[in-house]
Structure 1
Amino acid sequence: MAELSLVSFLIITLISFLGAAITAAFSIGGGLLLIGTMSALLPPLAVIPVHAVVMTGSNASRSALLLPHVAWPIIGWFALGALVGGTIGAQVLVTLPPEMLRLAVAGFILFTQWGPKVSLPLGAPFYSLAGGLSMFLTLFVGASGPFITAILAKIPSFSRLALISTAGACMTLQHGGKVAIFGLQGFDYGSWLPLMGAALAAGFAGTFLGTRLLKRFDEQFFRAALKWVLTALALWLIALAVGAMLSSE
């Protein structure tokens, strides 16, 4: 970790704590905050693999703390799709521009929140499709939590606890699969163990705090806040994509 200063190490650890707390409270936000910070402080090739390790731990701890609320049938279908999406994504990992994928995710999120009230075709095939698409996307853009959350938020029977816990389980599978894919492609995780260990510990502490805050929210407040958090994250994705495209010209 010779490429990382002590200040950068501490900043990433702090953001892991804050991001985990935000995600545990609203299901989204922390992953994008962390990957944005890592993109500014880590070597480019280390950003997505190291982020994947930290997010696997953060999401797993969130699901564990809310385990009784996880919708396991959805997880099974999601995992099946994620396996297919990860297999395809691993074959084209260096050929697709992440800017276009960010714009696609942002467009989907904004449509689900502000577009006409269209019923999504919820059910086993749709959950598998969502798993495949989100796994494919996360290999390129790092954090696809808003995409997953936007879908699960449309399930009428879901309470805020079911949404947060099930999204956490889906993203644990997703980020865990990403860790394996980058490992098979030769990424040296050993060089980043101190940072990953510190960020994982901070992430667990943040998740513990965030789940306590979540249980204090009422359902109406949570849904209203979630809509605006999703919207803000979609606009941030657009800004990141446009900024990257302009800087490459």
Structure 2
Amino acid sequence: MDAFLPEALPLWAFFAIMLVSFIGSAITAALSIGGGLLLIGTMSALLPPAAVIPVHAVVMVGSNAGRSGLLLPHVEWRIIGWFAAGALVGGLIGAQVVFGLPPQILRLAIAAFILFTQWGPKVSLPLGAPFYALAGGLSMFLTLFVGASGPFITAILAKIPQFSRLALIATAGACMTLQHGGKVLIFGISGFDYGAWLGLMAAALVAGFAGTFMGTRFLKRIDEALFRKALKWLLTALAVWLIFLAVSD
């Protein structure tokens, strides 16, 4: 077992991350958000700071790919295409300044946007190809600094009138798979040693897929109106948590 553990990571911390990966993936599969922030918060307390965002990104690729794969018929590919184009630009820009901006400001910006979309005046977002590309670029840029920008993506997709809960979860999962995949690539090019963390990442990926499977089964049973209400309050809670993190830092 010691050979499977990253250096200096206690056994209890290894299993704690596996458990949180399972729980977080189940939450995200059921409500589209929450799991990424839960996992990165746990990793921030247990892993060296330099490893948190890259390791978290690998686990999130698996979790989100599993979710969108289980709900593949509900993915809106037109949105994914424009999101990917914007994410490419956001990643190229973000890679140039990834170590230069304070995450506190970015967390506050995400929190403010989420609270506005959920509680502000009913303003119609300019939905369409340019807006989806812009969302892809902004979310890719943000996630390089704060690790988890899923609430930002979900808050946007939740405003698409024709989206069912299944389309929302599936499309958000595909968007975040692209986003975290790009982040893995950027940190790899920057020199991060993923090899030292393979054991932990593999275990967290397995636990995450098991959680995704459980959460997806729950999603298919939940009432649409109840889903929307729960999503609104969960987004709000996560925005408050981001504000707390920013102020604490």
- TM-score where L is the length of structure 2: 0.98
1:29-72 alpha-carbon deviations (Å, 9 max, x no partner):
00000000000000000000000000000000000000000000
1:156 aligns with: 161
Q: Where do residues 151-190 of structure 1 align in structure 2 (5 Å cutoff)?
A: 151-190=156-195
1:133 aligns with: 138
For structure 2, the 5+ residue unaligned runs are 1-5
Q: Of the candidates 16, 20, 23, which is equivalent to residue 25 of structure 2?
A: 20
Q: Of the candidates 65, 86, 89, which is equivalent to residue 91 of structure 2?
A: 86
Tell me, what secondary structure is at the counterpart of 1:158?
coil
Q: Which runs of 4+ in 1 moved over 6 A?
A: none
Q: Offset at 1:192? A: 0.2
Tell me, what secondary structure is at the counterpart of 2:162?
coil
Question: Partners in 2 of 1:14 and 1:67 — Cα distance?
Answer: 26
Structure 1 residue 54 corresponds to structure 2 residue 59: yes
2:217 aligns with: 212
Question: Partners in 1 of 2:198 and 2:24 — Cα distance?
Answer: 20
For structure 1, the 5+ residue unaligned runs are 245-249
Question: Partners in 2 of 1:93 and 1:122 — Cα distance?
Answer: 28
- The amino acid that maps onto 1:213 is F
Q: Offset at 1:90? A: 0.1
Q: Offset at 1:2? A: 1.4
- The amino acid that maps onto 1:122 is L
Question: Partners in 2 of 1:95 and 1:202 — Cα distance?
Answer: 34
2:111 aligns with: 106
2:3 aligns with: none
1:247 aligns with: none
Q: Of the candidates 219, 229, 233, which is equivalent to residue 234 of structure 2?
A: 229
Tell me, what secondary structure is at the counterpart of 1:156?
coil
Question: Partners in 2 of 1:101 and 1:165 — Cα distance?
Answer: 26
1:77 aligns with: 82
2:206 aligns with: 201
1:194-239 alpha-carbon deviations (Å, 9 max, x no partner):
0000000000000000000000111100000000000000000000
Question: Partners in 2 of 1:134 and 1:3 — Cα distance?
Answer: 33
Question: Partners in 1 of 2:68 and 2:212 — Cα distance?
Answer: 10
- The amino acid that maps onto 2:232 is K
1:67 aligns with: 72
Structure 1 residue 38 corresponds to structure 2 residue 40: no
Question: Partners in 2 of 1:143 and 1:182 — Cα distance?
Answer: 15
Question: Partners in 2 of 1:157 and 1:103 — Cα distance?
Answer: 29
Identity level (%): 80
Q: Offset at 1:3? A: 2.0
Structure 1 residue 97 corresponds to structure 2 residue 102: yes
Q: Offset at 1:129? A: 0.0
Tell me, what secondary structure is at the counterpart of 1:95?
coil
2:120 aligns with: 115
